[in-house]
Structure 1
Amino acid sequence: MTDTIPLAGYLFRRLHEAGLRAVHGVPGDYNLVMMDYIVPAGLEWVGNCNELNAGYAADGYARVKGIGALVTTFGVGELSAINAIAGSYAELAPVVHIVGTPKRALQTRGVKLHHSVCSGKPSDFTMFAEMYSKVTVAQENLWDASTAPSQIDRAIRECVLQSRPVYIQVPSDMVTEPLPASSLAQPLDLTLPSNNPELEQEVCDIIVDRISSATQPFILIDAGTSRYGLTGEADELVQRTGFPTATTPFGKGIPDETLPNFHGIYASVGENTYVPYVESCDLVINIGPIHSNVNTSCFTTIPNPKVSVVFDQTSITIGSKVWNVLPKSVLRRVVDRLEHIMFSFWQYPSLPDPRATLNRIPPVARTGALTQDIFWKRMSRFFRPGDMVLTETGTASSGGRDFVFPRNVGMINSGVWLSIGYMLAAAQGVALAQRTLASSYKHARTILFEGDGSFQVTAQELSTIIRKQLNVIIFVINNDGYTIERLIHGMEAEYNDIAQWKYLDSPSYFGAPSDGSYPVLTARVSTWGELDDVLSRDDFQRSCGLRMVEVMMGVSDCSQTLRDFLEMYASKKD
């Protein structure tokens, strides 16, 4: 090891140490030299079509890999990405946003530079960082080589531990600034130490006592479960107690849905609601709650706090008392204590069995038109272990609640930010992360359900999927416009119309090779027979490459669950 290492080399080496294997972004003159250090650090460079897409892709990558990163240039680049970073902040995705900025001397003098607002004031170079301070949990400006290593380490640590984005500025004259190579000898500390083992044990005892004495218990798993690193312990809790368990819409895909005590999504709309049961429970173990209106059926499914044990990011709440202890450590203690305790009910409650719905799907005629009430349920038969499923905001996100997954299938949807177009770019990041994790990538499928309107927002990222030869299946729901918006307001309004694209021509336009080196399969389906024929093809189910299906749906068609939710939403908006 040499005595020194360039600052940018240190930064990317630390990101690699944190688990990152790919950097998304867009080059610009203020970050070009910095990007020379990405590949030598063992990272893959993914050039995206624009910065917004890069932010979405880094977010998707982070949700699978545990950390994501993007590089943009000052001003025009970073502001193009701020919507994506705000979404990462809202939905707890650990993304490191690195911004190449002008030389320090030019900033200090307030020189009127391109990509700034050109007022001639030093504040030109701080205003964008101020904007980012609202949607990131740590901000570092690497202005001084003597403090840069600790700044970098601190930002990465906060990103991982808080599972939220951070913001790092690298002035262009600091990129090659030498740092002591010995700084790399100290490993990154990405763990939260147990600050009070005695208190953790006390809280564990209280929770175990509540569990042991419960007569009508319930476990509710939300998206924070995975964001806070609680998935393993939560799975063990569900299995060892046998307590009735469900997820919120945002938490779907986290627990094992094949367990007999798993009862689907807990919501107050849809055909399988069981709110009265939960409202009469004497214990609700609520793990990782995110109480947005969309995720709680307009706040109607938030469990009674008086009977709840809530595992949050950095605390546990039991009734009205908050304990500032490490949730993961306490939950681990609880699960270990329960290993030798037997749980049984006098009579297990009669709750919906999501697996049984697969046997009650109405029969359809091969020539019948596709409808959303049946489509989403029938698609459950297509999934297999190892899949990662993404459902875009709108009818796809709502319809995806009807999926019934086999073991080891993950899901990404949006429960807070709901930025249409996110999922296509995110699918690129997810598929790339899947490739780095899978022992055999050909068996890891990234499956995207995307509306036609959402597809048009970030369509360029299909070219990155093709260029990186990723394994992605895309179902484009063509319902001729913004159906979710039509259902809210303006069914016939022109502002909910979109241009009719030739979606299945897009792989060719975006550079798919014609020599078979990267397989591409496209199909348009409008009947159940056509859909079944495509799904049953072996080269569709098992081959690598891009598979794209345009699914023709009615303009106003949606699931009954979505109609019920929108009626509730309309009644509670004021």
Structure 2
Amino acid sequence: MSSEISLTEYLFRRLRSTGLRAVHGVPGDYNLTLLDHVVPSGLEWIGNCNELNAAYAADGYARIKGIGAIVTTFGVGELSAINAIAGSYAEMAPVVHIVGTPIRALQEKGVKLHHSFCSGLKRDYELFAEIYAKVTVAQAELVHVEDAPGQIDRVIREPVYIQLPMDLVDARVPVSLLERELDLMPVVNDVALQSGVCDIIVQRIMSAKQPSILVDGGTSRYGLSKLTDALVKVTSFPTMTTPFGKGIVDETLPNFHGIYATVGDHDYASYVNGCDLIINIGPVHSNVNTYYFATVPDKTVTISIERDSIQIGERIWKISPASALDQVISKLKSEGVPKIESYPALRNMQQTLATLPTSNDSSEKFAQTNFWRRMSHFLRSGDIILTETGTPSMGGRDFVLPQNTTIINSAVWLSIGFMLPATQGASLAQRHITASESESQHPVAHGRTILFQGDGSFQMTAQELSTIIRNRLDVIIFLINNNGYTIERLIHGPEEHYNDVASWNYLEAPSFFGGEDTSLYPIFKAKVRTWGELDGILDDPKFHSGKGLRMVEVMMDMQDCNDTLRLLLDIYKTKKG
């Protein structure tokens, strides 16, 4: 066995060691030789229709598998992907973006190469990396083979950007370097300091008279989901999530009360405002995630668990949140948490589920006021559910989720069109988990991938339906056809033509995108206008438990939305005015 491997194989094998099993991207002349190393390194190559879609797909893959990767070519390719990479950065999805760049000597001389600005300056080859430095956590420009492996090891952990010049693709590095342990979450931890902070947290928990736990999207990104679930169980404190945190906590627990809002069915403001302790885990305080900042916890009573620190009141300690939470939970289990008898009546999600009708008037047309909660009965343990920005994302807040489900939504970047490619990535990740015996206990290992998407957002990235078909992924799509950009109509211009989209024959898309031979890849498609029509499909085993692509076009009124969105838009218009 050779004592050396190529630098590119080193990079891909390092990525594989973190859990990656597939690389998304688009070939280009500056990355072709780089792509030769993907499959030999034990990874699957997923060629996408364009770089933006590839980055969206890598993001969806990362949210399930823990890491995603995309390869593009220099200049035109990487800039096409930057919107999606910025979204990964904003929402903390760990995507590694690898860019194949021209030969180093040509860059140094500023040679006028295609995909550059052809100014004749070396500066042409530095600009794009500078742009990416603003939307990635770390960057590595691989220039010297001697230190390139160390640079790779340094950056593989977050949304990162790696430039690999063509003349370094086959450069040799010692294979023994792969034996070095990767430190994916470096946190300098002072044991004595951590113990002191944990004592403070335990004391606050023990003495609380009206406590609550608020779980946000950072919880899963920081690897705190299991610890958070344990904390919710050991304390029995009333627990809520933000929209971005939905699905992280077991919604079947009696002390789980849904999304914390100041409007509608989840208006828990009177309870939370009276709390003497709020444990806020993984906070992401965007306007959309906090009902225009109405649900940001009072700092004076809050313990905030961040990525690499814990804040109590105004004081911040730089310690490992995971290690600290583990210690706190151990102490609480050994000492026991005093039971509080006088919680106000907060409705838990199982009480909500019990009120949802299991059958529908067969002639009744859909209305978003009740559609989303009724669809909760279709969901089951292990499912990955994706809700596109717009009416599906807002509607998805009404879902009552079974145990061990994962919901992917957006509460920061809100780039419409994201969810179809992300569905491709998430379904692929689910396949890779299912195929891995070592990960057989993963919650989504035997579930379904289900997308809820509007017609306008589908038109943004529709080409990725072909990638789903090409890779024979098992996906369910509910396409909400409400004749345009409904959420934009509700914000402004309900009748304006700029909120219209072309009228597509959506159910012809699978055939156009290569899904003609249903003997190789099953395709189920239907258009529904009433609950009776939809119920017939939902009850069909070929649909709810089948394989292949199952696509249902759900016809809804143009300006229909759920109550949550109407209330949120009222707040938005008040703030704007």
Task: Please report how far the alpha carbon of residue 477 of structure 1 lies from its aligned counterpart in structure 2 after TM superposition.
Answer: 0.3
Distance of 1:329 and 1:208 partners within structure 2: 14
Number of the residue aligned with 1:309: 303
Task: Pick from 496, 511, 514 the counterpart of residue 493 of structure 1.
Answer: 496
Please give the per-residue CA displacement for 1:137-179, whole angstroms capped at 9, x wherever unaligned: 11111111111110111111xxx2xxx3100001111101111
1:514 matched to 2:510: no
Which residue identity is paired with 1:231?
Answer: S
Distance of 1:242 and 1:378 partners within structure 2: 28
Number of the residue aligned with 1:428: 424
Distance of 2:185 and 2:87 partners within structure 1: 25
Number of the residue aligned with 1:479: 482
Number of the residue aligned with 1:344: 339
Task: Pick from 319, 329, 333 the counterpart of residue 325 of structure 1.
Answer: 319
Task: Please report how far the alpha carbon of residue 11 of structure 1 lies from its aligned counterpart in structure 2 after TM superposition.
Answer: 0.7
Residues 415-564 of structure 1 aligned to structure 2 (within 5 Å): 415-438=411-434, 443-564=446-567
Task: Please report how far the alpha carbon of residue 119 of structure 1 lies from its aligned counterpart in structure 2 after TM superposition.
Answer: 1.2
Distance of 2:574 and 2:250 partners within structure 1: 35
Distance of 2:326 and 2:523 partners within structure 1: 45
Measured on the aligned residues, the alpha-carbon RMSD in Å equals 1.3
Query: Residues 496, 515 of structure 1: CA spacing in aligned structure 2 closer, same or farther, 3 A cutoff?
Result: closer
Please give the per-residue CA displacement for 1:312-340, whole angstroms capped at 9, x wherever unaligned: 00110111111111111100000111113
Aligned partner of residue 365 in structure 1, secondary structure: coil
1:185 matched to 2:188: no
Task: Pick from 210, 214, 223 the counterpart of residue 220 of structure 1.
Answer: 214
Task: Pick from 165, 175, 181 the counterpart of residue 171 of structure 1.
Answer: 165
Aligned partner of residue 167 in structure 2, secondary structure: coil
Task: Please report how far the alpha carbon of residue 360 of structure 1 lies from its aligned counterpart in structure 2 after TM superposition.
Answer: 2.9
Aligned partner of residue 465 in structure 1, secondary structure: helix
Given that residues 194 and 329 in structure 1 are in contact (C-alpha distance below 8 angstroms), is that contact kept between their aligned partners in structure 2?
no
Given that residues 382 and 445 in structure 2 are in contact (C-alpha distance below 8 angstroms), is that contact kept between their aligned partners in structure 1?
no
Please give the per-residue CA displacement for 1:433-473, whole angstroms capped at 9, x wherever unaligned: 01111268993210000000000000000000111111110
Please give the per-residue CA displacement for 1:451-508, whole angstroms capped at 9, x wherever unaligned: 0000000000000011111111000000000000000000000000000111111111
Task: Please report how far the alpha carbon of residue 67 of structure 1 lies from its aligned counterpart in structure 2 after TM superposition.
Answer: 0.6
Number of the residue aligned with 2:122: 122
Given that residues 210 and 343 in structure 2 are in contact (C-alpha distance below 8 angstroms), is that contact kept between their aligned partners in structure 1?
no
Aligned partner of residue 423 in structure 2, secondary structure: helix
Distance of 1:482 and 1:332 partners within structure 2: 45
Aligned partner of residue 277 in structure 1, secondary structure: helix
Distance of 2:374 and 2:129 partners within structure 1: 47
Given that residues 484 and 558 in structure 2 are in contact (C-alpha distance below 8 angstroms), is that contact kept between their aligned partners in structure 1?
yes
Task: Pick from 260, 283, 308 the counterpart of residue 254 of structure 2.
Answer: 260
Given that residues 218 and 245 in structure 1 are in contact (C-alpha distance below 8 angstroms), is that contact kept between their aligned partners in structure 2?
yes
Number of the residue aligned with 1:37: 37
Given that residues 388 and 412 in structure 1 are in contact (C-alpha distance below 8 angstroms), is that contact kept between their aligned partners in structure 2?
yes
Number of the residue aligned with 2:50: 50
Task: Please report how far the alpha carbon of residue 364 of structure 1 lies from its aligned counterpart in structure 2 after TM superposition.
Answer: 4.5
Number of the residue aligned with 1:357: 352
Aligned partner of residue 71 in structure 2, secondary structure: strand
Distance of 1:14 and 1:358 partners within structure 2: 45
Residue correspondences, number: 568
Identity %: 61
Query: Residues 266, 442 of structure 1: CA spacing in aligned structure 2 closer, same or farther, 3 A cutoff?
Result: closer
Query: Residues 182, 361 of structure 1: CA spacing in aligned structure 2 closer, same or farther, 3 A cutoff?
Result: closer
Which residue identity is paired with 1:450?
Answer: Q
Number of the residue aligned with 1:109: 109
Distance of 2:264 and 2:504 partners within structure 1: 33
Given that residues 443 and 542 in structure 1 are in contact (C-alpha distance below 8 angstroms), is that contact kept between their aligned partners in structure 2?
no
After the TM superposition, which segments of 4 or more aligned residues of structure 1 sit over 4 Å from their partners? 439-442
Number of the residue aligned with 2:83: 83
Distance of 1:527 and 1:559 partners within structure 2: 17
Distance of 1:148 and 1:219 partners within structure 2: 44
Distance of 2:46 and 2:572 partners within structure 1: 40
Task: Please report how far the alpha carbon of residue 342 of structure 1 lies from its aligned counterpart in structure 2 after TM superposition.
Answer: 3.7
Aligned partner of residue 430 in structure 1, secondary structure: helix
Given that residues 139 and 155 in structure 1 are in contact (C-alpha distance below 8 angstroms), is that contact kept between their aligned partners in structure 2?
yes
Given that residues 397 and 413 in structure 1 are in contact (C-alpha distance below 8 angstroms), is that contact kept between their aligned partners in structure 2?
yes
Aligned partner of residue 258 in structure 1, secondary structure: coil
Number of the residue aligned with 2:235: 241
Aligned partner of residue 170 in structure 2, secondary structure: coil
Given that residues 250 and 403 in structure 2 are in contact (C-alpha distance below 8 angstroms), is that contact kept between their aligned partners in structure 1?
yes
Which residue identity is paired with 2:352?
Answer: T
1:410 matched to 2:393: no
Distance of 2:71 and 2:445 partners within structure 1: 29
Distance of 1:369 and 1:191 partners within structure 2: 50
Aligned partner of residue 536 in structure 2, secondary structure: helix
- TM-score, normalised by the number of residues in structure 2: 0.97
Which residue identity is paired with 1:327?
Answer: P
Aligned partner of residue 155 in structure 2, secondary structure: helix
> Which of 250-259 and 514-523 deviates more?
514-523
- TM-score, normalised by the number of residues in structure 1: 0.97
Distance of 1:483 and 1:398 partners within structure 2: 12
Task: Please report how far the alpha carbon of residue 345 of structure 1 lies from its aligned counterpart in structure 2 after TM superposition.
Answer: 1.4
Given that residues 442 and 543 in structure 1 are in contact (C-alpha distance below 8 angstroms), is that contact kept between their aligned partners in structure 2?
no
Query: Residues 285, 143 of structure 1: CA spacing in aligned structure 2 closer, same or farther, 3 A cutoff?
Result: same
Number of the residue aligned with 2:9: 9
Task: Please report how far the alpha carbon of residue 343 of structure 1 lies from its aligned counterpart in structure 2 after TM superposition.
Answer: 3.1
Task: Please report how far the alpha carbon of residue 309 of structure 1 lies from its aligned counterpart in structure 2 after TM superposition.
Answer: 0.5
Distance of 1:209 and 1:43 partners within structure 2: 48
1:211 matched to 2:201: no
Please give the per-residue CA displacement for 1:349-386, whole angstroms capped at 9, x wherever unaligned: 20122222233346742111111011100000001111
Task: Pick from 277, 287, 295 the counterpart of residue 293 of structure 1.
Answer: 287
Given that residues 294 and 415 in structure 1 are in contact (C-alpha distance below 8 angstroms), is that contact kept between their aligned partners in structure 2?
yes
Number of the residue aligned with 2:274: 280
Unaligned runs of 5+ residues in structure 2 are none
Please give the per-residue CA displacement for 1:31-64, whole angstroms capped at 9, x wherever unaligned: 0000000001100000000000000000010011
1:368 matched to 2:364: yes
Number of the residue aligned with 1:570: 573
Aligned partner of residue 98 in structure 1, secondary structure: strand
Please give the per-residue CA displacement for 1:502-538, whole angstroms capped at 9, x wherever unaligned: 1111111111142422111001111011111111111
Given that residues 385 and 406 in structure 2 are in contact (C-alpha distance below 8 angstroms), is that contact kept between their aligned partners in structure 1?
yes
Distance of 1:358 and 1:240 partners within structure 2: 24
Distance of 2:57 and 2:261 partners within structure 1: 30
Task: Please report how far the alpha carbon of residue 192 of structure 1 lies from its aligned counterpart in structure 2 after TM superposition.
Answer: 3.1
> Which of 138-147 and 71-80 deviates more?
138-147
Which residue identity is paired with 1:544?
Answer: K
Distance of 1:545 and 1:360 partners within structure 2: 33
Distance of 1:257 and 1:364 partners within structure 2: 24
Please give the per-residue CA displacement for 1:233-267, whole angstroms capped at 9, x wherever unaligned: 10000001100001000000000000000000001
1:147 matched to 2:147: yes
Aligned partner of residue 402 in structure 1, secondary structure: coil
Number of the residue aligned with 2:374: 378
